[in-house]
Structure 1
Amino acid sequence: MVTRERDDLVIRVDGRRPLSAELVAAFEVLCDRVEDRADRNTVIMHVSGAPGEPSNEALTIALVSKWERALRRFERLPAATVAVASDECGGVALEALLATDYRIGTASLRLLMARRALVTWPGMALYRIVRQAGSAAARRAVLLGIPITAADAVATGLIDELTVDTQAALTAAMELAEAIPGPELAIRRQLMHDAPAVSFEEALGAHLAACERALRLSSAEAGR
């Protein structure tokens, strides 16, 4: 079940439920809210749950494509995205988690790659988990479906911290995130994501543009 609260800047994703048009719409609405509200720059996501036995629910490539586009839009928001993950986390919950900026987990957390029939679901969660944790760290989860424990998730950087007090950790993370303007964070995020995939020469133009922007902002701030 997906719910929204606190001016629609909190979203809950239940990995036990299959991908649906409702879930895609919830993310699109959330993105609309964030992009329309320059004064709010933190989104909170709660994720948990993993699919049970593979079912025969009607899942189309068109729906999967819409979901991946919605997640990519979410991943590029001019806002910090902070996730709280607990217990088993797989399916759409894992896919959403991997698109966030900062991730808080509980000791009971286990990340599970989704499976359909006899194969690991080759969605973009596979891409993100390998890109973020490295192929060696992700190999057993991707190839054999072995869960990633909370400790391993922290060791590989998939989870930023483990806590028994998720509310305190969430409050601390929000205080850090809200000190950075959303557009500035979005630029840093994009430069970071591009760095492993492009050459120095390709990256230089975008970094110079970002440097020029930073100089303009500093100059404007000094002139006040």
Structure 2
Amino acid sequence: MANPIQLAAPKADFTLTIDGAQALTLDLVGRVTATCGTVEDADHGDTLLVRLGAHTEAAAQRHQPPANVHLVNKWERALRRLERLPVATVAVATGSCHGPSAETLLATDYRIAGTDLRLRLPETGQSTWPGMAIYRLAQQLGVARARQIALFGPELSAWQALELGLVDEVAEDPQTALRAALDNLAGARGRDVAVRRRLLMDAASTDFEEALGPHLAACDRALRRTQVA
């Protein structure tokens, strides 16, 4: 394992931290929205690092439902904005990752889990919260693989999350894994990562004829950029 004294911590262009025990509040919505605004207003930078998780007893407690549906609407819009940013989003999830932090994980591009990760979607009472996390699960995993999580909301270990495809790698040293990920994602903004992400997200709900136009436009843009280079 790398010695943190000898090896500086990897640094992304932008950073967002959400405690794994964080409940859904206006403050949380505001922090996510403000981070998105900073990224969108910048004319450079390729990666947003999203740190998720908690290592306290409070993190093991089940979250209470949000105060009202208007807060939920603001939160869902903030997450939608996050997953449409012009940069690559890299999540590092360690410890307990419950509630809003778990929802945020599903809105990122590349996901690194520590071996101690415990992942659980938001709940209301004894049931999985019927928010857009269920939509993202079905979109990313398919209905068959998402069914047990969406209906019964079990807590998942890092290795279970990896097997399902909810995280991309499990690392004993997340910092080393993050450093490699940031190196691989250098130039993501210039390579139009947002365009490719959007085409991928739309593929499940768009038929071929409707998808062809946007794909051709993206191909034309890529060819023009290649010719200029």
Q: Determine if the TM-score, normalized by the shorter chain, exceeds 0.5.
A: yes
Residue equivalent to 2:22: 17
Alignment correspondent of 1:165? 173
Structure 1 residues 1-224: aligned runs within 5 Å: 9-49=14-54, 50=59, 52-55=61-64, 59-182=67-190, 184-221=192-229
In 1, distance between residues paired with 2:166 and 2:126? 25
Q: Deviation of residue 41 (structure 1)?
A: 1.6
The secondary structure found in structure 2 opposite 1:188 is: helix
SS state at 1:219 partner: helix
1:58: Cα distance to partner? 5.9
TM-score, normalised relative to structure 2: 0.87
Q: Could you report, residue by residue, the CA deviation over 1:104-124 in whole angstroms, capped at 9, with x for unpaired residues?
A: 001121221221123211111
- Gaps of at least 5 residues in structure 1 are 1-5
- Corresponding residue pairs, total: 215
Distance 1:58 1:110 in 2: 22
TM-score (norm 1): 0.89
Runs of 4+ with >4 A deviation: none
The whole-number CA distance in structure 2 between the counterparts of 1:140 and 1:171 is 33
* Contact 2:112-2:178 within 8 A present in 1 as well: yes
Contact kept? 1:18, 1:51, Cα under 8 Å: no
Compare relative contact order (CA 8 Å, sep 6+) and give the higher one, 1 or 2. Answer: 2
Structure 1 pair 58–145 and aligned structure 2 pair: CA distance change class (3 A)? closer
Cα RMSD, aligned residues only:
1.9
Q: 1:182 to 1:82 in 2, by over 3 A?
A: farther
The 2-side partners of 1:18 and 1:179 are apart by 34
Point out where structure 2 has 5 or more consecutive residues left out of the alignment: 1-10
C-alpha distance in 1 between matches for 2:177 and 2:15: 16
Tell me the amino acid that sits aligned with residue 199 of structure 1.
Answer: D
Summarize the Cα distance change of 1:181–1:125 in structure 2 as closer, same or farther, 3 Å threshold. Answer: same
Residue deviations 1:18-54 (CA, integer Å, cap 9, x gap): 1111111111111111111121121001111456245
Contact 1:79-1:183 at 8 Å conserved across structures: no
- Contact 1:15 1:51 survives alignment (8 Å): no
